[in-house]
Amino acid sequence: MFKDITRRASKFAAIAAAGLLAMNVQAAEPIRIGSFLAVTGPASFLGDPELKTLEMYVEKINEEGGVLGRQLELVHYDDAGNASKARNFASRLIRSDRVDIIVGGSTTGATMAAVPMVEQAGIPFISLAGAVVITDPVKKWVFKTPQTDRMAAERVLTDMKERGLTKVGLISGTGGFGSSGREQTLAAASAMGGIEIVADETYGGSDTDMTAQLTNIRGTDGVQTILNFGFGQGPAIVTRNYSQLGIELPFYQSHGVASDSFLELAGNSAEGLRLPASPLLVPDSLPADDPQKPVVEAYKTEYEARWNSKVSTFGAYAYDGLMLAVEAIEKAGSTDKAAVRDALESIQGHVGVTGTFNMSPEDHNGLEAESFRILEVQDGSWKLIN
């Protein structure tokens, strides 16, 4: 409480000082963007690049004059990927910090824990987490930037069908990402028709050898291709086991491992495998007329120059979230929450790093499965297939 008072007082002093120094500029309150991300803890590989992206672009937008002539202010908390913490911080952002919009929620659990509060308070919320439940069914105030795991599954299955592969062996991790991906793959396969999941194996998060599951799949009648849905080190081990067993079937991974560190972990065994990924991994191979090319290239160069570390797909979700928020506020012409929400819902043709967003009252994600690019590993690096 005391902190609130001091914070308010210091903010007041800052505003007063700014007003005195720049009499011609209206001493407008900054636009407050709230965020809770998993910067530490097991999901920090999501939250860390997301926070860096938000910090850097809020800075950049402010240098360029802000939004609607007002500066942006980022209010950030670390939820460590914990749902109860996320709920607390969402509550704090809404009720104590009184932010205008929330861009955050690295994990599905954290996002879903904050949703009831966000819906009740009526504040626009752009989530950075993957699962399909976030925007299906559509929730009035909740939007999200990453593609759903359902889209990843559809994209992979479509590519398989195009190659004439219709009998799929599925192996997935039992973590949140893997098990949700498994569910969506099974659902997508039965919805699409003409493709069949003939084997369905799982492995635990800390397993160090998956040859048993892979041998089972190889032994399944008629299996033509194998798909691995998982996160972290599991898929790298599956990939190594795959080549150790000398399995000749075409191999697919999910977008969960679409990063350069996966290539390092899996080494030569990754040769020839395909996965759905963000164009961010292959900015150079994008054709010159691709509308995403300039956005992707700019984000990659700016991020790597500022932080001196490799850009990641997860940071791009935060980039898209922030830019969508900015566009919505500009379109609404104010930070009135209902107006911003309506503007967010009507955004069309917003070219982001992840894809091109076309929001609608029925679709609060706005991406198509085609926004995933199919990449293949060739000579130890990513090649764009389509």
Interacting residues with other proteins (CB under 8 A): 1, 3-4, 40, 76-78, 82-85, 87-89, 91-92, 94-96, 107-109, 112-113, 115-117, 120, 131, 133, 174-176, 179-180, 183
Q: How far is the CB of 84 from other proteins (least distance, A)?
A: 6
**Residue from 72, 10, 12 nearest 323 by CA:** 72
Distances (CA, A) of 83 to 63, 71, 204, 384: 34, 30, 22, 37
Burial class (CB in 10 A: 0-12, 13-18, 19+), 283: buried
Q: How far is the CB of 145 from other proteins (least distance, A)?
A: 18
**Pick 108 or 158: Cβ nearer other proteins:** 108
**Pick 40 or 190: Cβ nearer other proteins:** 40
Q: How far is the CB of 127 from other proteins (least distance, A)?
A: 13
**Pick 147 or 269: Cβ nearer other proteins:** 147
**Pick 92 or 167: Cβ nearer other proteins:** 92
Q: How far is the CB of 19 from other proteins (least distance, A)?
A: 25
**Pick 173 or 279: Cβ nearer other proteins:** 173
**Pick 107 or 312: Cβ nearer other proteins:** 107
**Pick 205 or 250: Cβ nearer other proteins:** 205
Q: How far is the CB of 41 from other proteins (least distance, A)?
A: 10
Q: How far is the CB of 180 from other proteins (least distance, A)?
A: 7
Q: How far is the CB of 109 from other proteins (least distance, A)?
A: 4
